[in-house]
């Protein structure tokens, strides 16, 4: 199957992406939820068993530490995050685990996660609740409702053997989609990820993470002062944008975004050249969208249209 056909499956039908390289963390103990509630950006009090939320762990100065999804599973809390960030999330949480009855475990090794994406994805598990991040148990695994921009999806997460067994039983005929096609789909949907689009310098509002991952009413959380000050009376200097209609050489990550000869930003994610759907990049907030910009890098030039980033993050 060609990469174009794989991308089309995710947009118009259904495909499955193996994302078992994602980081996974387990938080257990009688104080698990109250411990996390005091630290993370989302309000966990309304999150019941079988529900979840997108959340952030920020630094004390309000910059991003780790972006993750949180699922409440009975009295336990499952967290999953971008590949390579499970250990960082566990280490950062343990740094604040003082005099609380909670245990934090990095369980990325041996963890499984597959994403079933496309308009037909919900039909694979028709009894799944409609709310995003809602989940149900199937053996030792969890089936989780997801959304990618305006495209629905379902995740199957849990121990790798349980995930493989469940997929073989309930979704044996769904065609696999490669990492390259999935990356183009993610960029096309406008969904940022660590470390490409989100790093230790990122303020949540720069990437619109506050839309679904920050509560401004829950009370105190780590890094709250900066985030709330920007919300109430300030603005950020740059915003994550989608770049479309790229014309010229195909750009690279790190390419400058230029307006009237002056640099105004930089590309952070670029779709594979075989699937040239576009790119993501940070642009100065003064640039009103849509806007025509130049792209410049060593050995190439192009033009593009900068557009608003409308999607919510899957995780």
Residues 257-289 have pLDDT tens digits of 999 999 999 999 999 999 999 999 999 999 999
Is 260 part of any domain? yes
3, 133: one domain: yes
> Are 166 and 236 within one domain?
no
Q: Which among 213, 144, 196, 186 has a CA at the least distance from the CA of 311?
A: 186
Q: What is the pLDDT of residue 315?
A: 44
Return the pLDDT at 232: 83
What are the per-10-residue average pLDDT scores of the chain (315 residues)? 96 98 98 97 98 98 97 98 98 96 97 98 94 97 96 97 94 94 97 97 96 94 92 89 97 98 98 97 96 96 93 46
314 located within any domain = no
> What's the structural domain count of the chain?
3
CATH of the domain at 262: 2.40.30.110
Query: Of 84, 109, 134, which residue sits at a domain end?
Result: 109
Return phi, psi of residue 17, to 5°. Answer: -120, 125
Domain boundary (109, 137, 156) is at 109
**Do 209 and 303 belong together in one domain?**
yes
| 313 lies in some domain | no
- Residue that finishes a domain, picked among 81, 109, 137: 109
Decide: 258 and 243 in contact? Cβ < 8 Å.
no
Enter the pTM of the model.
Answer: 0.94
Q: What is the pLDDT of residues 136-179, one digit of tens each?
A: 999 999 999 999 999 999 999 999 999 999 999 988 999 999 99
- Same-domain pairing of 61 and 147: no
d(CA 124, CA 108): 26
292 and 237, same structural domain?
A: yes
Domain ranges, residue 74: 23-109
pLDDT at position 171, please?
A: 86
Q: Classify residue 198: in a domain, yes or no.
A: no
Which domain CATH number covers 149? 3.30.1360.120
Q: Taking Cα atoms as reference points, which of 108, 58, 67 lies closest to residue 225?
A: 58
CATH code, 87: 3.30.70.1400
CA quadruple 118, 122, 125, 128: dihedral sign: positive
Q: Does residue 117 share a domain with residue 97?
A: no
29 found inside a domain: yes
């Amino acid at each position: 199957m060609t990469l174009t056909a794989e991308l089309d499956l995710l947009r118009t039908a259904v495909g499955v992406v193996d994302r078992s390289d994602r980081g996974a963390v387990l938080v257990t103990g009688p104080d698990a939820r109250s411990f996390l509630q005091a630290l993370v950006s989302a309000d966990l009090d309304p999150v019941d068993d079988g529900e979840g939320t997108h959340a952030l762990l920020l630094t004390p100065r309000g910059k991003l530490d780790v972006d993750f999804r949180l699922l409440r599973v009975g009295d336990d809390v499952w967290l999953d995050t971008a590949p390579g960030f499970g250990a960082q999330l566990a280490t950062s949480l343990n740094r604040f685990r003082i005099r609380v009855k909670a245990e934090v475990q990095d369980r990325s090794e041996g963890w499984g996660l597959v994403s079933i994406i496309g308009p037909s994805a919900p039909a694979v598990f028709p009894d799944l609740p409609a709310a995003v991040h809602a989940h149900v148990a199937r053996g030792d695994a969890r089936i989780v409702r997801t959304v990618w921009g305006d495209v629905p999806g379902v995740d199957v997460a849990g121990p790798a053997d349980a995930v493989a067994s469940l997929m073989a039983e309930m979704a044996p005929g769904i065609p696999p989609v490669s990492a390259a096609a999935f990356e183009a789909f993610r960029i096309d949907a406008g969904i940022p990820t660590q470390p490409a689009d989100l790093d230790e310098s990122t303020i949540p509002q720069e990437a619109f993470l506050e839309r679904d991952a920050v509560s401004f009413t829950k009370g105190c959380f780590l890094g709250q002062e900066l985030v709330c000050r920007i919300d109430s009376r300030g603005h950020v200097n740059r915003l994550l944008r989608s770049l479309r209609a790229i014309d010229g050489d195909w750009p690279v990550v790190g390419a400058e975004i230029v307006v009237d000869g002056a640099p105004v930003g930089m590309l952070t994610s670029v779709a594979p050249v075989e699937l040239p759907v576009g790119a993501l990049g940070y642009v100065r907030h003064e640039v009103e969208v849509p806007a025509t910009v130049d792209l410049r890098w060593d050995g190439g030039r192009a033009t593009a249209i900068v557009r608003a980033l409308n999607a919510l993050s899957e995780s």
